[in-house]
Amino acid sequence: MQDAGKWLVIIGALILGLGMIFYFWGDKFQWIGHLPGDIRIERDNFKFYFPLTTMVLFSIVINVVIRLVKWITVYLQS
């Protein structure tokens, strides 16, 4: 049960850190959601937005971070 508490504190700290980054430097991230390949259709009474490239980029970044965390934990245990 203590492991779950530790992970909740770590996840909370990460969310807090991301929130502070977006709060103080949010204007520096205007490119997010406006990358080439993001689909945007705007008509008179209709708007459709599908951030395809942004989702692929975030998926790659999250995948790399998870692999690094796994690699570090395995490396520290041996």
pTM of the full predicted structure? 0.64
Nearest-angstrom CA–CA distance, 1 and 15: 21
Burial status of residue 27 (CB atoms within 10 A of its CB: 0-12, 13-18, 19 or more):
exposed
Q: Which residue is it, tokens 């008509």? A: 43
Per-run averaged pLDDT (10 residues), the chain, 78 residues: 81 92 87 88 93 94 91 83
